[in-house]
Chain A
Amino acid sequence: MIAKTLVKASQDVGPQGDIVSLEGVSKTFSNGTVALKDLSLGIRAGEFLSLLGPSGCGKSTALRIISGLTGPTSGRLRWPQETASQPEHELSFVFQEPTLMPWATVFGNVWLPLRLKGISKSAARDTVMEALEMVGLASFAQSYPRELSGGMKMRVSIARALVTKPKVLLMDEPFAALDEITRFKLNNDLLALWQRFGWTVIFVTHSVFESVYLSNRIVVMAARPGRIVNDIAIDAPYPRTEAFRTSTLYADHCRSVSQALHSAMDANDHL
């Protein structure tokens, strides 16, 4: 594997080491598909890390393993900073689709994670409204998902992920289905929230431009079998704005990441 020491933590989180690490993780599905092969990756606290790769290279699988939704076939997942007494990892998942319950209001959807922990509606009200405030949808609390645009639904989905005040945010191509204008807007809002709260974000995408704009580290993956082929630091400073999007620095990074992605795909050009 490419040395992960390449990466300098550009956040001022200090040298805390990895918050979560995959060690020699492989995943083979029962139908014989090798989704991941011997994948090792350490993710630092406060990092905005993108997993970039062509579809089918195991990005979602890696994310599901980190979330604990599925286990690795071999290798292991570690949360080095957690003590045994900690009941659960403080993480949240945002899917590609908004994945809202159509029968519940926006409030009801964001309340869900707390409700499952046994917190009543009145006790959860402030926290839920705070999360909706963060994504700018407080005035839509009583709307149903069908009344919202695609971008707004995604915001609700993000608010639901934030309502538990997670340390780690897992996002699986969350903006892939949105139009470009909405996507740019959500990119900016996500970055602003990340700078404010300092979560660790693991962001899956197949867009070079999106990954360079957002992340301070890009892990490039290749398919069959799913593996890491490159680990690139993007050292441009935050806050990143529209000015960064049009800068030559951005273009340079995009070019080198794009090259890394293409050499990863060339390895599979028989496909």
Chain B
Amino acid sequence: MSDITLKINGTEVTVEAGTMVLDAARKAGAEIPTLCNLEGLEPFGACRLCVVEIVRGGRSRIVASCLYPVENGIDVLTESEKVVRYRRTILELLKARWPLIDKKLLEKYGVPADRMVPRDNFCIMCGICVRHCSERRKENVLGFVGRGIERQVVSYTVRAKKVCPECFDKELSCLRFCPTGVIVNDCATVCPASRDEEAFAKPVRVRDDDNAAAVKKSLGDA
């Protein structure tokens, strides 16, 4: 493959064609926060935390760096005024769903407190669990249902009973990759065959007080 030369925050770098801007930028030492991106999984483009500004010939554009392949001659700005502003609002939206989000990140981007209505569903719909299960485990126990704000991750109990225990034994479970930890409580009680559930699909994101406490505990409190 041929090489591509581009600038990351003013510094010229050369990477292999097909590399995503995110990886090129990280290689060059830039810090870009991500949530839905995980090495080895197909990029998903859902959290948009990884947005960067791309300048070419005086024109600029905001793109999700985890999905944007490098191009010759582009200038990538990972912390431009716009990027910082947008990332701040995205973090603010995420915080409304996931109050335990990394405080350092909130501080770094100056995320205002209390402007959004809390949504406390904890799951941020990053889809890592779903993709891990289908792409790496090839099991398709998890899936999305619903549209818009109603969207949620569900586990298909019948299948879960069969295959999840195997996962837990070998430490291949999706639980280990969920960035919010919300799946921990639910999967432990719902999907891994421990209960005799009639229902076909169970929401993974349902949150009650027990859940919240468990999540806090699993994260070593925040």
- Genuine A/B complex: no
